[in-house]
Amino acid sequence: MIRVRGLSKEFGTLDNGNGGVLALSDIDFEVHDNEFVTIIGPSGCGKTTLLRIIAGLIPYDHGEVTIDGRPVTGPGPERAVVFQNFALMPWADVLSNITFGLEIRGASKDECQAKAIELIKLVGLQGFERRLPKELSGGMQQRVGLARALAVNPQILLMDEPFGALDEQTRRLLQEQLLRLWEHKRKTVVFITHSMDEAVMLGDRVMLMTPRPGRVKEMIDVPLERPRSREVEKSSAFLEIKEYLWDNLRAMQSGDA
């Protein structure tokens, strides 16, 4: 379980003498084991900062962040991060990009190969094992990034707008693939998005954040059956939650909230 209590983060005084920026203030929430939580909020509300804190990539100023009761003090083997910009090694082929994390953890060559081949099949990249990132489309590169994260078998996947830079068709295809992978692997997922459709389609719950300094405005349950298909987008529950999110986001950004 991920537990965040009283979390605040301020970025320091700038060189020009201007004061610091309070990015997050008094954040409280929990993510249960094997739960898929999506996070949405106005631009600049601190979503990425929050994810990086949970990943252990940046420190926080006040509060507590724990995973299964243990304080987060840095990166850990139980967490893997998938970024929007793919972050692949440009000189390495698909197979080598996927096995990289396993190799640095001391896995044998045979183990690395077997795991990579399994994941390449899962993400639909058979036949592209020896291609370099520059030879792949954006959607294919993001599949490599997802496979690389899954290769180290993390308990928790932290995903920072992983499909945000992709075209709509590719984005929807990868959403469907991620749902299938999640059903198969059942990881704990925290997923940042700017898309209301994506937040509702993927999440067990949607965490709605306020404008900076980011706070948790509300946790919204998504009562849609799993496994999910595109048919749920036509349901009254899906449309009601999406409209509710939009009403809140619009009000926050117009100053009415």
Q: What is the pLDDT of residues 160-194, one digit of tens each?
A: 998 888 889 988 999 998 998 898 888 999 999 99
Does any domain span residue 16?
A: no
Q: 99, 122, 153 — which closes off a domain? A: 153
Please indicate, yes or no, whether residues 6 and 123 belong to a single structural domain of this protein: no
pLDDT at 101 over 90: no
Question: What is the number of residues in the chain?
Answer: 257
Domain count, the chain: 2
Q: pLDDT (tens digit, 9 = 90+) per residue, 124-172? A: 899 999 999 999 998 899 899 989 988 888 999 999 998 888 889 988 9
CATH of the domain at 37: 3.40.50.300
pLDDT at 257 over 80: no
Does any domain span residue 128?
A: yes
Please indicate, yes or no, whether residues 160 and 220 belong to a single structural domain of this protein: yes
Does any domain span residue 137?
A: yes
Does any domain span residue 143?
A: yes
Please indicate, yes or no, whether residues 173 and 197 belong to a single structural domain of this protein: yes
Please indicate, yes or no, whether residues 114 and 229 belong to a single structural domain of this protein: no
Contact (Cβ atoms closer than 8 angstroms) between residue 20 and residue 13: yes
pLDDT at 10 (0 to 100) = 92
Please indicate, yes or no, whether residues 143 and 164 belong to a single structural domain of this protein: no
Mean pLDDT on 206-235: 94
Q: Which of 221, 227, 242, 225 is nearest to 176 (CA)?
A: 227
Does any domain span residue 99?
A: yes
Please indicate, yes or no, whether residues 100 and 168 belong to a single structural domain of this protein: no
Average pLDDT over the chain reads 91
Please indicate, yes or no, whether residues 168 and 202 belong to a single structural domain of this protein: yes
CA 43 to chain centre: 16
Please indicate, yes or no, whether residues 42 and 133 belong to a single structural domain of this protein: no
Mean pLDDT on 17-32: 87
pLDDT at 18 (0 to 100) = 62
- Torsion sign across C-alpha atoms 182, 87, 214, 237: negative
pLDDT at 164 (0 to 100) = 85
Q: 153, 175, 198 — which closes off a domain? A: 153
pLDDT at 160 (0 to 100) = 94
Please indicate, yes or no, whether residues 247 and 168 belong to a single structural domain of this protein: yes
pLDDT at 19 (0 to 100) = 65
Does any domain span residue 101?
A: yes
Domain membership of residue 236 as a residue range:
1-10+21-78+155-257
Distance CA 248, CA 245 (A): 5
Please indicate, yes or no, whether residues 175 and 249 belong to a single structural domain of this protein: yes
Please indicate, yes or no, whether residues 140 and 167 belong to a single structural domain of this protein: no
Does any domain span residue 15?
A: no
Report the largest interatomic distance among the alpha carbons of the chain, rounded to a whole angstrom: 59
- Torsion sign across C-alpha atoms 42, 48, 49, 53: positive
Q: Which of 81, 105, 86, 55 is nearest to 159 (CA)?
A: 81
pLDDT at 107 (0 to 100) = 84
pLDDT at 109 (0 to 100) = 87
Please indicate, yes or no, whether residues 251 and 174 belong to a single structural domain of this protein: yes
